[in-house]
Amino acid sequence: MSSPTVLAEAARRRTFAVISHPDAGKSTLTEALALHARVISEAGATHGKAGRRATVSDWMEMEKERGISISSTALQFEHRGHVVNLVDTPGHADFSEDTYRVLSAVDFAVMLLDGAKGLEPQTLKLFDVCHRSGIPVITVVNKWDRPGLDPLELLDQIQQRIDIRPTPLTWPIGIAGDFRGVLDRRLGHAVEYERTSGGATIAGETVHSPDDASTVFGDAWEEAVGGHELLAADGADHDPEEFLAGRTTPVLFAAAALNFGVTQLLDVMLELAPAPRPRLDAQGEPRAVDSPFSAFVFKIQAGMNTAHRDHVAFARICSGVFERGEVVQHTQGGRPFATKYAQNLFGRDRETTDLAYPGDVIGLVNASQLGIGDTLYLGPKVEYPPIPQFAPEHFATISARDTSRFKQFRRGIEQLDREGVVQVLRSTLRGDQSPVLAAVGPMQFEVVTDRLQREFNAETRLDFLPYTLARRIQPADRETLAGINGVETFERSDGTALAVFSDRWRLQFVSRQHPDITFESLSADV
């Protein structure tokens, strides 16, 4: 495959995730985007949440509930000559480590806010992660068809609480609850929205010149113009460099349930959001997108769907072209990996991927030797940096109920550790029989016990430990801290030495007693 083809294919790709606090409308927006791209003919007008199983991807649930074709991890569609890859993130507040991993695999994020609620706890965390990782964010203020906050107040919240400058690209015509259209600040015209029944088909849109808009919308237009001028005077205009550096966030107003504002979002993504860029390897060297094939694993899904072969590693392509059937190199395993079963998992029946380019997500089936963060490549060897592990807040020991099944139990723990389902901590004190599991959200424990039982036939027993905090220490510090009340030390499977504490007070107390020891926050602490 020639380099110009790979460069052109990469340049027309947009790979992103929609992130939000639960209930802001992520599933609704996903459907609306798919509807606009005509992936599905009609979006479901209702979004019943009953029965959603949190351990399963929301999209799989959507598939089941509504019988529509949405893939379980990456929704790919063509729009105006571009290829859009929308990577799914779990939609619940608890199990968020997966969300952060997905963010390592996208080129930008769309942050959805509920126009009535503004910034919510999960929004703040996610903005923070994007900010620190330099991921550009497009903000969409959703549910503008309902009474909500003043738009300037919303901008103020973003500026004050996240320290990222909002630069609206559209400005609503009509207050929250009376959403009639938007003033497109980039193009200088007005877009009038028209409701369709239940928002099930693409909303009608009429473009008006400023003069016509004044007649059509009356005072609401004058107010929108007033808002626009205020923003312009304040310098809140889009600046491509600032946006790509993650210092500003373009803002759009929408009502996903009515499909209002969705065309503008797609246009902005195609015109302003970044295409795949060279990714830095573990040494900090960029690998050009037209270098030979390379990808890294950011998600592993197993044990969730009995109807299919059930161990899928999802990898994001960083460079080159992927051709199904090729034997690629696996950096961490040091062995070749055959990709005969690569699938893009698009639609109800998994489609087989034959060719994929930088920005695309491929699902590799039967990939139990691959772990989170692993690199695959062809040509010059490359290793991408590991995906940061997150600070666990929940701890429990796990042991096999039936000691004769210990071998299966141990194999299962190793497998789940490699997949990144949970962090596994060890110490001589606890022994091999009952390692300690550390999780960001308690739901991870349920997944572990359930999978050990179903896939490894090992019934287990969990005993919760009274710790809530973990800090990185030097391996040699473990001896110094041995036997101190309220602190325990472990080695994590990636080799990191950790000290865990019951609470902040205990951490402060121990730090004062041992000023020579540095208790480092874990890199991805949020």
* Host H or E run for residue 27: helix 26-36
Between 47 and 125, name the residue whose CB sits nearer to ligand G4P: 47
Q: Compute CA distances 485 → 179, 233, 428, 509, 517, whole Å.
A: 59, 59, 17, 11, 16
91 binds ligand G4P (CB under 6 A): yes
Are 449 and 499 within 8 A, CB to CB?
Answer: no
* Host H or E run for residue 230: helix 219-233
Between 46 and 215, name the residue whose CB sits nearer to ligand G4P: 46
238 binds ligand G4P (CB under 6 A): no
Give phi and psi for 494, each to the nearest 5.
-85, 5
* Host H or E run for residue 279: strand 279-280
Alpha-helical (H) ranges within 356-503 are 406-419, 443-456, 477-481
Between 173 and 498, name the residue whose CB sits nearer to ligand G4P: 173
- Going by C-alpha positions, the residue among 2, 13, 5 that lies closest to residue 318 is 13
255 binds ligand G4P (CB under 6 A): yes
52 binds ligand G4P (CB under 6 A): no
75 binds ligand G4P (CB under 6 A): no
* Alpha-carbon span 273 to 246, nearest angstrom: 11
| 88 annotated as a binding-site residue | yes
Are 60 and 53 within 8 A, CB to CB?
Answer: no
| 238 annotated as a binding-site residue | no
> Which of 1, 12, 47, 56 contacts ligand G4P by CB under 6 A?
47
143 binds ligand G4P (CB under 6 A): yes
* Cβ neighbourhood burial of 22 (10 Å; 0-12, 13-18, 19+): middle
Binding residues for ligand G4P, total number by CB under 6 A:
20
142 binds ligand G4P (CB under 6 A): yes
Instruction: Convert residues 7-46 into a mask of x (bound to ligand G4P by CB under 6 A) and - (unbound).
Output: -------------x-xxxxxxx-----------------x
Are 93 and 21 within 8 A, CB to CB?
Answer: yes
Give phi and psi for 373, each to the nearest 5.
90, -10
Between 25 and 172, name the residue whose CB sits nearer to ligand G4P: 25
82 binds ligand G4P (CB under 6 A): no
* Host H or E run for residue 69: none
> Which of 12, 125, 146, 247 contacts ligand G4P by CB under 6 A?
146
In angstroms, what is the minimal distance from the CB of 45 to ligand G4P? 8
> Which of 5, 8, 42, 49 contacts ligand G4P by CB under 6 A?
49
| 90 annotated as a binding-site residue | yes
Are 208 and 222 within 8 A, CB to CB?
Answer: no
In angstroms, what is the minimal distance from the CB of 48 to ligand G4P? 5
Between 146 and 277, name the residue whose CB sits nearer to ligand G4P: 146
> Which of 105, 256, 269, 473 contacts ligand G4P by CB under 6 A?
256
In angstroms, what is the minimal distance from the CB of 270 to ligand G4P? 22
In angstroms, what is the minimal distance from the CB of 145 to ligand G4P? 5
In angstroms, what is the minimal distance from the CB of 382 to ligand G4P? 36
Between 257 and 424, name the residue whose CB sits nearer to ligand G4P: 257
| 92 annotated as a binding-site residue | yes
Name residues whose C-beta falls within 8 Å of residue 245's C-beta, 6 or more positions apart in sequence. 134, 136
| Six token digits for residue 143 | 């549910």
| 67 annotated as a binding-site residue | no
In angstroms, what is the minimal distance from the CB of 128 to ligand G4P? 19
* Alpha-carbon span 316 to 345, nearest angstrom: 13
123 binds ligand G4P (CB under 6 A): no
- Give the number of C-alpha atoms closer than 13 A to the C-alpha of residue 23, restricted to the C-beta side: 9
Are 447 and 97 within 8 A, CB to CB?
Answer: no
Are 471 and 521 within 8 A, CB to CB?
Answer: yes
Positions touching ligand G4P (CB under 6 A) are 20, 22-28, 46-49, 91, 142-143, 145-146, 255-257
Q: Which residue numbers belong to the known binding site for GTP?
A: 88-92
Q: Which residue numbers belong to the known binding site?
A: 88-92
